[in-house]
Structure 1
């Protein structure tokens, strides 16, 4: 089990070996963002800007305009906090920068809301030419990196801190914008992304004694393919979204708009972080916001199976 930031660090070195235009623009966080190995392998392609994300974004945009594929890495909260610079230098110029935001969601724990990446999706989704990618495991991380170096469009790559297991096999093929069904069920579709994918899969296992078997959808890249996603979701009576992000502006809004446009009535439910976040251990925080496996299972049960047996350990 590894965090997607760790898988990213390894995959970046691998793709850079085949693509000489790949560079790293660093913000004094090589150890935390896992770009140290890149620095050691390709020191002439590693640019240390220091604790100056705004400046680093301008440097990366300039390098992209000269034909390079720069990866600028920092905590997601800090990087997207320089939204004006991203808007002006990357977005408006359609500069081919890969913005790598690590420490997504609540898992930064005791460092608290001043460092939690909880609003980054809302910001990056607002830019019409920026793709958002959030891998669920190592297989998907490598597939996304291989994809990212094949074109020069702006990308925001959202990575997690917490270790997680693989949910894909080696035959997995990443298709941008396409909903990825990782577990098939009936009646209920649960949509999530990133580190929440294995959590939702664990919640589904907790629900097995109740007779509920939701389909689990990994929405790992945004914007989603609306026709493909709509065709998938219209098969279900309930669509639920769980995300490690504010309840506004992120995946919940993306899926809600798609469901709203369907030609049939579907019950839509969603959960995320409803305040600025808190300081505590990751385990305490995910339990507080009911984004751990028992909490997710309890939420699914509450809206879709009121007469099913209670789930041990979950909050009612």
Structure 2
């Protein structure tokens, strides 16, 4: 069987992120490295693959643990069922495919994982616009909207290598169903040394005033860069990393309530994702701030990733300009 294409392959990565100034890597790369390491420690960790081992970075796992690697081919619905069965037998299966393909089998996820409370980790790679020229037919842009509807499924999206490793350690020892959303594009490390992931707790990466910017996954380092650009003009937005859902309600209320405006930046459709999660909280505040969203308002387009992020104003320049405009519009 010929493996499905994902366009140009990036180089593989090994080793933990250590803040040593090395080249940025994607969270799918960090996932692949962490998966092998946790499998060495936990023999109940297995992988269910959908003919995308190179693209999802599960190939190193297959090479080291061939007896714990199950190839289902181009059949995500079958893979989800196989993974649910393995989970019910005490294994911790990671079933990996493009997020667009995997969550496209939502009925099977609902029936076999959700309703059975099966401890499957659904790994959706190639989140957002970064798949580029392959276009909307392969872009993971509506996966959060789907997975958020399942009340017992936690959603995880790391913003860098350090957070990916810590999430993987959490997921290996947890037994609850989960969706792990991963990026294709390289990301710089966004967290300071000593950061510790805690499910549902959104860390503040830049403390500021007036505007609280909530981001997730690949948009987090970009939002940090935008805030750093604005600092030269004397503007200091707060940047918050919402790395897992459901998010802690009290933490969001505290952060949003301390600002005049809230901006949600996400590499996802404008409807159904992080913005909707936060709006349900912010709109309940007695003195609620202005609420704004910067996301993908259509089906997405095909083109070089950098052009797409520029088009949708989800690059550092676009986010910075949007924040500056919000501050100019705000009453004194």
Same fold (TM over 0.5): yes
Q: How does 1:84-123 map to 2 (within 5 A)?
A: 84-123=107-146
Is this contact kept in 2: 1:245–1:273, CA < 8 A?
A: yes
The correspondence for 1:63, drawn from 70, 86, 91, is 86
1:261 alignment partner in structure 2: 284
Residue matched to 1:76: 99
Q: C-alpha displacement at 1:35, in angstroms?
A: 0.4
Matches within 5 A, 1:110-259: 110-259=133-282
List per-residue Cα deviations over 1:117-153 (Å, max 9, x = no partner).
Answer: 0000000000000000000000000000000112210
| Post-superposition offset of 1:231 | 1.6
> What SS class does the counterpart of residue 236 from structure 2 fall into?
coil
Gaps of 5+ in 2: 1-23
- Give yes or no for contact 1:178–1:229 (8 Å, CA) kept in 2: no
Q: What is the CA distance between 1:59 and its match in structure 2?
A: 0.2
Per the TM alignment, residue 165 of structure 1 is displaced from its structure 2 partner at its CA by: 0.6
Aligned to 1:9: 32
Of 26, 30, 43, 2:49 maps to 26
Q: Give the C-alpha shift of residue 306 in structure 1.
A: 4.9
1:302 Cα offset (Å): 0.9
**How far is the alpha carbon of 1:100 from its aligned partner?**
0.1
User: How far did residue 170 of structure 1 move?
Assistant: 3.8
Task: Find the residue that maps to 1:210 and give its secondary structure.
Answer: coil
Cα displacement string for residues 148-191 of structure 1 (whole angstroms, at most 9, x for unaligned residues): 11221000000000001111234111110011111111121100
Gaps of 5+ in 1: 308-316
- Would you say 1:54 and 2:54 are equivalent positions? no
CA offset at residue 265 of structure 1?
A: 2.6
What is the distance in 2 between the residues matched to 1:297 and 1:57? 40
Tell me, what secondary structure is at the counterpart of 1:305? helix
Where do 4+ consecutive residues of structure 1 move more than 2 Å?
none
Q: State the SS of the aligned residue for 1:169.
A: coil
For residues 278-293 of structure 1, the aligned pairs below 5 Å read 278-293=301-316
What's the CA shift for 1:262? 1.3
Residue 305 of structure 1: CA displacement?
2.5
CA deviations 1:39-76 (Å, max 9, x no partner) are 11111100011000000000000000000000000000
Q: Which moved more, 1:255-264 or 1:241-250?
A: 255-264
Question: What is the number of equivalent residue pairs in this alignment?
Answer: 307
Segment of structure 1 superposing worse, 142-151 or 201-210: 201-210
